[in-house]
Structure 1
Amino acid sequence: MFVSRSGGSDGSAASSRGAAARASILHADLDSFYASVEQRDDPRLRGKPVIVGGGVVLAASYEAKAHGIRTPMNGRQALRLCPHAIVVPPRMSAYARASRAVFEIFRDTTPEVEGISIDEAFLDVGGLLRIAGSPVEIARTLRERVRTEVGLPISVGVAGTKFLAKVASAVSKPDGLLEVPPGGELDFLHPLPVERLWGVGEVTARTLHEHGITRIGQLAELGEKGLSGLLGPAAGRHLYALSWARDPRRVDTGRRRRSIGAQRALGRRTRTPEEIEAYLSGLADRLGHRLRAADRVCRTVVLRLRFDDFTRATRSHSLPAATDHGRVIDQAAHTLLTAAMPMIRERGLTLIGLSLTNLDDAHTMQLTLPFEPRPDSTLDTTLDQLRDRFGAGTVTRAALLHRGEGLSVPLLPD
Structure 2
Amino acid sequence: MDRIIMHYDMDCFYASIEIRDNPKYRGLPLVVGGGVVTTASYEARKYGIHSAMSVFEAKKLCPNLLVIPVDKDKYIKISQQIQRLVLKVTEKVEFIALDEGYVDITDIAKKYDSLDKFAKKFQERIKHHTNLTCSVGIGINKLSAKIGSGINKPGGRYIFNSQMEFATYIGPKDIKIVQGVGKKLRELLNRDEIYKVEDLLPYTFQELVNRYGKSRGELLYLSCRGIDYSEIEYKREIHSIGNENTYRYPLDSDGNIQKELNDIFEYSYQRLLKKELISKTIILKVKYSDGSLITRSKTLSRPTDDKIILFENLELLLEEIEEKPIKLLGISFGNLIKKSIRQLSFF
| Residue pairs, 1:81-96, within 5 angstroms | 81-96=61-76
SS in 1 for 2:88: helix
Q: Distance in 1 between matches of 2:324 and 2:127?
A: 44
The alpha carbon displacement at 1:193 in A equals: 1.4
Distance 1:358 1:104 in 2: 23
1:247-298 per-position Cα deviation (integer Å, ceiling 9, x unaligned) = 11222211234xxxxxxxxxxxxxxxxxxxxxxxxxxxxxxxxxxxxxx462
Over 3 Å counting, the alpha-carbon distance change for 1:198 and 1:303 in structure 2 is farther
Choose from 243, 260, 274 the match for 1:301. Answer: 243
Aligned to 1:189: 170
Matched, 1:100 2:63: no
What amino acid does structure 2 have at the position aligned with 1:243?
C
**CA 1:63–1:190 in structure 2 vs 1: closer, same or farther (change >3 Å)?**
same
Residue 354 in structure 1 maps to residue 330 in structure 2: yes
Which residue number corresponds to residue 152 of structure 1?
Answer: 132
Task: Check the 8 A contact 2:240/2:333 in 1, yes or no.
Answer: no
Identity among equivalent positions (%) equals 27
Structure 1 residues 7-406: aligned runs within 5 Å: 19=1, 21-22=2-3, 24-182=4-162, 183-257=164-238, 296=239, 298=241, 300-303=242-245, 307=251, 312-313=257-258, 314=261, 315-316=263-264, 317-318=267-268, 349-357=325-333, 360=336
SS of match in other structure, 2:95: strand
Could you tell me how far apart the structure 1 residues matched to 2:246 and 2:122 are?
37
Instruction: From the two aligned structures, give the one with the greater strand fraction.
Output: 2
In the alignment of these two chains, the number of paired residues is 280
Q: What is the CA-CA distance between 1:208 and the residue it aligns to?
A: 0.7
- The Cα RMSD (Å) is 2.7
Change (3 A) 1:180 1:303: farther
Q: Report the Cα offset of residue 78 of structure 1.
A: 0.8
SS at match of 1:172: coil
CA distance in 2, matches of 1:113, 1:105: 11
TM-score, normalized by length of structure 1? 0.62
Unaligned stretches of 5+ in structure 1? 1-18, 258-295, 323-346, 365-414
Flag the 1:36–1:180 CA change in 2: closer, same or farther, 3 A. Answer: same
> 1:192 is aligned with what amino acid?
K
Once residues 74 and 310 of structure 1 are traced to their aligned partners in structure 2, the CA distance between those partners, rounded to angstroms, is 19
Letter in 1 for 2:15: A
How far does residue 101 in structure 1 lie from its aligned partner after superposition?
1.4
Structure with greater Cα Rg: 1
For the residues of structure 2 that align with 1:241 and 1:255, how far apart are their CA atoms? Answer: 24
> What amino acid is the match of 1:222?
Y
Note the alpha carbon deviations across 1:335-368, whole angstroms, 9 max, x for none: xxxxxxxxxxxx9835424344357589x9xxxx
Does structure 1 retain, via aligned residues, the 8 Å contact 2:30–2:67?
A: yes
Q: CA separation of 1:200/1:78 partners in 2, compared to 1, >3 Å: closer, same or farther? A: same
